Structure 1
Amino acid sequence: MMKKPELLAPAGNLEKMKMALLYGADAVYLGGKLYGLRALGGNFTREELREAVGFAHKLKKKVYVTVNIFPHNSDLRGLPDYLRYLQEIGVDALLVADLGVFMMARECIPDMELHISTQANNTNWATVNAWHALGAKRVVLAREMSLKEVREIREKTSADLEMFVHGAMCISYSGRCLLSNYFTGRDSNRGSCAQSCRWKYALVEETRPGKYFPIEEDERGTYIMNSKDMCLLPHIADVIESGVESLKIEGRMKSVHYAASVVRAYRLAIDAYFEDPAHFKVQQEWLDELEKVSHRPYTTGFYYHQPTADDQLYGTSSYQQTSEFIGLVRDYDTTTQYATVEQRNNMKIGQEIEVFQPNAPLYRQVLSDMLDEEGNPIAVAPHAQQIVKIRMDKPVEPYTILRRDIPAKA
């Protein structure tokens, strides 16, 4: 029997981590305040790291911590102490990219499971086997890999393999980029990427400063390095059958809504495949779920072919989505049928909303009865994170997401 792969989700903060696990992730990857590649992603204090590990382990799930910067000498100060702290609180594995950090971890915390980050540019079986021989348990494959290449690596290594299946693509090989450093002084390889590849560019000739020439025939300029987002859910059977141990979702800087919705779609797809592989079929409702969150148009990246112009977005760097996150259920009173909700976007009486739960089917209802914290009837909840009570048509569980459709543009 083929082993069911782990579903690994991003967690930019404690709330996103809880949502990812409750909506179906088997494990999460997250970063502390130092040593990770998402310095602007919120991240976790030492106390929050301890709480995260405790929450996950109660659910019998795992936490992996990123220590995957390419450090300069100054970055190494305090690293041994931090590594020992991660072992003390029970972190399940570390993600590293730098050989020096890897060897330091092997020396300081020899019992810790080590995973090799995609930042290490793992594109062939020889590299995977080399890391495995040094003591790595798992290697994260570069996004720039085809299905054929993944299958060949699987045949030639006994290391666990992890691959990205969903999220943003990087214009540079596995994130090894100097653009951000050059333009802004923020080093992407030390956690501070400014996403310079998403900017709009034009040409300037040195003798005519201030005279901007479009790179193609478009007066708005062009986004020459702006990739579409990866989405392999329509091909999840191929992914599973390639034999990788972990399927990874990108997006530690994305929203709570993103964490819950993307995880839930992939959870349902993976489980459905293993219930009946011979008759498995991708369901439209899973694909619809991925359209509800903020994203760029989707592509399969390098998985089936070398990317072409169709895999890039030249006219805009904006996102699209079909649904808007408006509230998060904190509690539900079975007697009164009121849910206590934290507002995340303007909501008002008369709107039709969708109720999206961790462990129950979607349903829709009209907002017909809403109270403020003092129990007074209100028609609208306009204030950010305002606490309101809403009468629900059906029972709901904590961490349920309330959302509304975004009207299609004419």
Structure 2
Amino acid sequence: MSSVLSHDQPRLAGTRARLAKPELLAPAGSLEKLKFAVHYGADAVYIGGQQYGLRSNADNFSFDEMREGVEFAAKYGAKVFVATNIYAHQEDLAGVADYLKELENAGISAIIAADPAIVETAQQVAPKLEVHLSTQQSTMNWQAVRFWKEEGLPRVVLARETSMDEIREMKRRVDIELEVFIHGAMCSSVSGRCVLSNHFTDRDSNRGGCCQSCRWKYDLKADERSVADPEMNLFTMSSKDLCMIDHLPDLIDAGVDSFKIEGRMKSIHYVASVVNAYRQAIDSYMDNPEGYALRSEWLEDIGKAANRPLNTGFFYTTPGAEEHIYEPEEKAAPFDFAAVVTEYDEDTGIATVQQRNFFRPGMEVEFFGPGGRRFVQRVGDMTDVEGNSLEVARHPLQLIRFRTEHPVAPLDIMRKRIG
């Protein structure tokens, strides 16, 4: 993991007397991920329905699942947003009005939209739905922000290419909510406006079919001959991932209203780890801005789930060649999601966990939960729920019991080191 602490950016001097607490907005590619994101501290989650979104390969939500997700989130005081952020062709618009009405009826708080046709339709047929402008609109200046405010939108999701100075100028000139990506994958094209996927695979990036062609391995050729150094590996066009946990005070002081984590296609382990770290960091700063300090365990938790090297994107400077990944990526994070706690017996200290990855007695594992609870132990004797002794946990979703050295709670996660 590349250290985000190496970016020697100066802290902004002083803080405003009254700072609104920013929203922590997390991705949820499935109903189960939604529940983990909210349980681990998200104030809001964004999901995809089965139409009009840019992640057609995610486990997108049916209307019944949306209603269940809204009900679950409401217990935590959290909201649910739905991405309807495609750029629509004419045939895509059939049925969009009915779809938006169903979102409103399901209790969805807002949609994230890019196409003016979808924006206008939502305002006309589903007035209880807030419309947040998608990052797909590549908004990077205050005049554009003002335009969308005048169109009746309460929030703009800024392009990933926006700088900290530009954000300050927007907040100074326009009274509107600003949402920015603060963690996750960066796009090699301007805020997702990629045509390579269409060209290579006939899958439209801007209609939900991105094939992630920037992650492929490439050679450099002229006249069918390779002109690359024969000693050089094939290269990618992939960007390093964004991580702003070390710069939350700057973002808050600039007036950012919503901190957005990318990753509807990411794992439960990733979502829980990253949301947990940012939740603690935001709360710590808001409780005591003057005494705030980044904690090493927050970076460690992010590192245990990170798939790529990290940087600060466009916030402080325009990324150069050093901010791209040219060598083949190390895909696997250093830790795997091994199990999730379903029950805990305080009298016996026995936890029941649901298996998500292979583990066995004697293996060192780490438990963690919301708010920074975590501990490391070795797995002891294991049984199934009928009391039969087990030598290995190899069956997906199998319920397994063993003693934990400290109390755990439902939805706590057990992870193991890879290798």
Same fold (TM over 0.5): yes
* 1:268 paired residue among 260, 280, 283: 280
* 2:48 paired residue among 31, 37, 48: 31
In structure 2, how many angstroms separate the alpha carbons of the residues matched to 1:17 and 1:329? 17
1:124-183 superposed Cα distances (whole Å, 9 cap, x missing partner) = 111111111111010001100111111111111111000000000001111011110110
* 2:201 paired residue among 169, 184, 204: 184
1:215-254 alignment runs, 5 A limit: 218-223=231-236, 225-254=237-266
In structure 1, how many angstroms separate the alpha carbons of the residues matched to 2:231 and 2:36? 42
Please tell me whether residue 4 in structure 1 is matched to residue 21 in structure 2: yes
Q: Which deviates the most, 319-328 or 163-172? A: 319-328
On the 8 A contact 1:36/1:191 being kept in 2, the answer is yes
On the 8 A contact 1:358/1:399 being kept in 2, the answer is no
In structure 1, how many angstroms separate the alpha carbons of the residues matched to 2:43 and 2:323? 30
Structure 1 unmatched ranges of 5 or more? none
Identity among equivalent positions (%) equals 47
Secondary structure at 1:115's aligned position in 2?
strand
On the 8 A contact 2:350/2:401 being kept in 1, the answer is yes
Residue 217 of structure 2: aligned partner: 200
Secondary structure at 1:279's aligned position in 2?
coil
Tell me by how many angstroms 1:360 deviates.
Answer: 5.7
Residue 289 of structure 1: aligned partner: 301
Residue 106 of structure 1: aligned partner: 123
Q: Which deviates the most, 128-137 or 378-387? A: 378-387
On the 8 A contact 1:349/1:369 being kept in 2, the answer is yes
TM-score (norm 1): 0.95
Secondary structure at 2:290's aligned position in 1?
helix
In structure 1, how many angstroms separate the alpha carbons of the residues matched to 2:59 and 2:331? 21
Tell me by how many angstroms 1:217 deviates.
Answer: 5.8
On the 8 A contact 2:47/2:60 being kept in 1, the answer is yes
Please tell me whether residue 64 in structure 1 is matched to residue 76 in structure 2: no
* 2:368 paired residue among 334, 337, 356: 356
Residue 299 of structure 1: aligned partner: 311
1:2-401 alignment runs, 5 A limit: 2-206=19-223, 208=224, 211-214=225-228, 218-223=231-236, 225-359=237-371, 361-401=373-413
On the 8 A contact 1:372/1:387 being kept in 2, the answer is yes
Secondary structure at 2:260's aligned position in 1?
strand
Tell me by how many angstroms 1:218 deviates.
Answer: 4.0
Total equivalences in the alignment: 402
1:171-207 superposed Cα distances (whole Å, 9 cap, x missing partner) = 111101111011000001000100001111113334x
On the 8 A contact 1:323/1:403 being kept in 2, the answer is yes
RMSD, aligned α-carbons: 1.4
Q: Which amino acid aligns with 2:287?
A: E
Tell me by how many angstroms 1:212 deviates.
Answer: 3.6
Tell me by how many angstroms 1:405 deviates.
Answer: 2.5
On the 8 A contact 2:242/2:310 being kept in 1, the answer is yes
Q: Which amino acid aligns with 2:376?
A: R
Secondary structure at 2:51's aligned position in 1?
coil
TM-score (norm 2): 0.93
On the 8 A contact 1:294/1:319 being kept in 2, the answer is no
1:5-24 superposed Cα distances (whole Å, 9 cap, x missing partner) = 00000000011110010001
Tell me by how many angstroms 1:284 deviates.
Answer: 0.8
In structure 2, how many angstroms separate the alpha carbons of the residues matched to 1:244 and 1:369? 49
Residue 14 of structure 2: aligned partner: none
Tell me by how many angstroms 1:106 deviates.
Answer: 0.9
Tell me by how many angstroms 1:378 deviates.
Answer: 1.1
On the 8 A contact 1:297/1:320 being kept in 2, the answer is no
Secondary structure at 2:389's aligned position in 1?
coil
